[in-house]
Chain A
Amino acid sequence: MAWSREQMSARAARELRDGFYVNLGIGIPTLVANYIPEGMSVVLQSENGMLGMGPFPYEGQEDADLINAGKQTITELPMSSYFSSADSFAMIRGGHIDLSVLGAMEVDEKGDLANWMVPGKVVKGMGGAMDLVAGVKRVVVVMEHTSKDGSAKFRPSCSLPLTGANVVDLLITDLAVFSRSDRHAPFRLIELATGVTLEEVKAKTTASFQIAL
């Protein structure tokens, strides 16, 4: 038994705090918005130029001029604001965003993150990910613990081109949660997903980590 995408998102949502400005990446991180605790005020930033992202529109109310970073149609809220791409990334690089949740292909024990290309195979680009990891105060990564062929994605060293070096603060997988107190500290295993054993996590991880269950 491992966590579903929804359970991973719900776990990431536990990192939110009242008053936070948050940027959610594409994929599983987008789902985190569904688990913001009732009564908590969290402002979602969309890097294409919006603060205060609202939910998906009702059918018939989609607006081509109102999309999120994943190019999905969204809505505005009474407190929303719009700005240019340069302003958006000034916000991001300037350390004004409290938390970013991103997906990953690989994370390593030094906190390096790889999520933008597979040489010779996948050419998509980094989008805003390199800016986010360089400037956001706290970076949370959500990813499957192993790749489709079963190999470890939390490794001693990333094999893919990096998105950022020493940038990950918290790693949530479908099997476990690893955190570190600062960017000089080693990762510690702090939680196991429901029904997952320490032995399973050890067997499917090649990165070194401390155990703090």
Chain B
Amino acid sequence: MSLPTGRKVYPDARAALKGIARDGIMVMSGGFGLSGLPENLIEALRDSGVKGLTCVSNNAGVDEFGLGMLLKTRQIRKMISSYVGENKEFERQYLAGELELEFNPQGTLAERCRAGGAGILGFFTRTGAGTLVAEGKEQRVVNGETYVFETGLVADLALVKAWRGDTEGNLVYRKTARNFNPNMATAARVTIAEVEELVEPGVLDPDNIHTPGIYVQRIIQGRDYIKKIENRTVRKRPAGQEA
């Protein structure tokens, strides 16, 4: 069976990045922890050898997976993230002054992507008022509450991962693998999506599209998904209910 084709469809991650991945660009990468990571595209970005990247991602992966792979190869100059506690190499590079880091509160990071994609210059939020996050930023006091001005983000490139997508770029995510993916998909000059299942238009229910195709310029059928689990937690089956 041949894969669906179309003007947005590329044969693989490497081909999709061609002409777009360049030194020094800002790249958004969807995912929360290791869930909903654009695995194929991150690997291809590493293999492209581009350097000096600014990466916008909630987390930095772990040492051997996700953006951790690009940290290891020193392709990232700066990270904009909310939590990097799972990545020892990140912590080491940062404390050694080898990596620039901008911490954004998670909700501020998500809203900066949303605003950037929606043509909103910035927004005032209570989040971070009275903390290091507010330093150097415009602040306003309204009805006794302090608000901090945060700017919208527009990246050169967004890499997102969806469960299913069609050749027009319409995307559907699965469970909590959605996370930052739909917000980042709107917030870049070029968005590349990788999907577990690429389908023809008409297969996905138009009433249940999470990311409309207008936001997606290139799409690939992903392959060899590892979908690593960071903290495998389980409970015991009640007696008599063995699988």
Seen from chain A, the residues whose Cβ lies within 8 Å of a Cβ on chain B are 46-50, 55-68, 70-74, 76, 82-86, 88-90, 92-93, 112, 120, 123-131, 134-135, 161-166
9-residue interface stretch from B13-21, B67-75, B214-222, B224-232: B224-232
Check B231 against A66 for contact (C-beta < 8 Å): no
Check B178 against A49 for contact (C-beta < 8 Å): yes
Seen from chain B, the residues whose Cβ lies within 8 Å of a Cβ on chain A are 32-36, 58, 81-86, 90-91, 94-95, 101, 103, 105-111, 113-114, 125-133, 163, 173-183, 210, 227-237, 243
Check B234 against A124 for contact (C-beta < 8 Å): no
Cα–Cα distance between A168 and B233 once the two chains are bound (Å): 30
Check A125 against B237 for contact (C-beta < 8 Å): no
Which residues on B sit within 8 Å (CB–CB) of A50? 175-176
> With A67-B35, A125-B84 in contact, is A73–B183 under 8 Å at CB?
no
- Which residue from B131, B163, B234 sits with its C-beta under 8 Å from A57? B234
Cα–Cα distance between A48 and B173 once the two chains are bound (Å): 13
Cα–Cα distance between A130 and B230 once the two chains are bound (Å): 24
- Which residue from A67, A86, A88, A164 sits with its C-beta under 8 Å from B33? A67
Other A-B contacts than A71-B34, A82-B178, 13 sampled, CB-CB below 8 A, are: A46-B176, A58-B237, A65-B177, A66-B175, A85-B110, A86-B110, A89-B107, A89-B108, A93-B125, A128-B107, A130-B133, A134-B126, A134-B128
Give the number of A-B contacts (CB < 8 Å): 183
> With A60-B243, A73-B229, A92-B107 in contact, is A127–B83 under 8 Å at CB?
yes
Which residues on B sit within 8 Å (CB–CB) of A88? 107, 110
Could you list some 22 contacts between A and B, CB below 8 A? Answer: A50-B175, A50-B176, A56-B234, A57-B234, A59-B243, A65-B176, A65-B177, A66-B35, A67-B35, A71-B230, A73-B234, A74-B233, A85-B183, A86-B182, A93-B107, A120-B95, A126-B83, A128-B107, A130-B108, A162-B131, A163-B131, A164-B131
Check B127 against A130 for contact (C-beta < 8 Å): yes
Which residues on A sit within 8 Å (CB–CB) of B227? 64-65
Check A125 against B180 for contact (C-beta < 8 Å): no
Cα–Cα distance between A139 and B133 once the two chains are bound (Å): 20
Check B107 against A131 for contact (C-beta < 8 Å): yes
Cα–Cα distance between A86 and B85 once the two chains are bound (Å): 21
Check B131 against A130 for contact (C-beta < 8 Å): yes
Check B85 against A124 for contact (C-beta < 8 Å): yes
Check B131 against A85 for contact (C-beta < 8 Å): no
